[in-house]
Each structure stands twice: as structure tokens, then as C-alpha cells.
Amino acid sequence: MKIKLLISLFFISLATNAANVKDMSNLELFGVIASYLSDAKNNKDDLIKTNNYKKSFEELDERAKSGNPSAIIYRGFMDFTICQEAKKVGLNTINNSSCVSAFSAFKLAANTSKIIFPNERAKAFNYLGQMYLDGLGVEQSKLMAANSFYEAAVNYNKFEDKDNTLINLEKAINAYPDYQKAKLLLNNILNKKAP
């Protein structure tokens, strides 16, 4: 009797966890996926963790395919990580499918007209800048990298995230030292008088 009850509870738990992914935010789904992958070797034997991972991945992927810009960014993060690994082992990262997918995801999220959290749009521009700078999923372009870092800075600045604004302006100027828009914004921020 105990075994039947435990088996029933186990399957109810799996069904409940599968239903709960619909209620999770994109960040929570990404957290489940990242947590699982951080120790995939040990987690693969845990049926509940494996099921939660699969359901979370499927849900995030579905949301990204339906055009949810936040989900697109988190899906892009996963492909970006794979892309970086491809670069480490010397693969062609301009045409690598994970790199191209990550680049497309960040570009779509950065330029979407849909509602998106401001820090997510800024992150998308930041990752675009890094991809242009390193030639990941796109031909390398220091000017395009600088422009993307500048756009990230503008988005961070709108919401008074001074640290990330300055970091991205520095990246823009390092990528393309003559990028005047970045220099002008940096000068305005540094010379802004405190109220």
C-alpha cells in the first residue's frame, strides 16, 4: 500500500511540476535550466530534476518561438554559452549554428517593439556588442560593437544604472576609440552636477 501511495505521489509531483512551468517567469525557467546544467552529470539520474529541466527548456523554447522577447534573450544566453565553447575549441564561430542563433536572438530582443524589461533590452545590446567584437555569429566589426555597447549604455542610463552605463560606454570606446556618441554621453554623465 505504501509503495502504491509513493508511486502515486511521485507521478502527481511530476504532473504538478510540469504544470508549474507555465506559471514560471522566463528568468525562473532559465534558473531551472542553468541549475540542472551546472551539474548535469549528477542530475541526470534524478528523474524529478531531469523532468523539471526538460519541461522548463521546452516551455522557454516555446515562449521564444512565439516571439516573447524576454524568453528570446534567455534562449540566446544558452546558445551564447555554447558559442563561446565553440570558440574555445577553435571552431568557426561566424557560421556556427549556436552563434548565429544567439546573435539573432539578441538582435531581435534588442530591437523589438514589444514590451520588454529595460535591463533585458540593455543586456541584449551588450551581448550584441560582444558578438560583433569577437565575430560570433556575425562578421567581426568594431564599429558595430561600439554602437551596440553604446545602445546598451543608453538603455541603462534611462533607468539610472550608472555602473552598467559607464561599463558599456567604456566598452564602446575601447572597441572604437573615435566613437563620438559614446564620448559625448560619457562626458555628459561625468560632468553632470549633483542635485
**Cα 143 from Cα 166, distance rounded (Å):** 18
Give Cβ neighbours of residue 56 (< 8 Å, ≥ 6 apart): 21, 24, 29, 32, 33, 36
Q: What is the arithmetic mean of pLDDT over 170-177?
A: 98
pTM: 0.82
- Cell numbers linked to 126: 551588450
* pLDDT single digits (tens) 97-155: 999 999 999 999 999 999 888 789 999 999 999 999 999 999 999 999 999 999 999 99
- Cell numbers linked to 65: 518561438
Q: What is the mean pLDDT of the chain?
A: 88
Exposed (0-12), middle (13-18) or buried (19+): which is 4, by Cβ within 10 Å? exposed
The answer to whether residues 128 and 148 touch, using CB atoms and an 8 Å cutoff, is yes
**Cα 154 from Cα 168, distance rounded (Å):** 9
Distance of CA 1 to the CA centre of its chain: 47
Residue-level pLDDT at 42: 83
**Cα 138 from Cα 100, distance rounded (Å):** 7
Residue-level pLDDT at 116: 86
The more confidently predicted of residues 191 and 137 is: 137
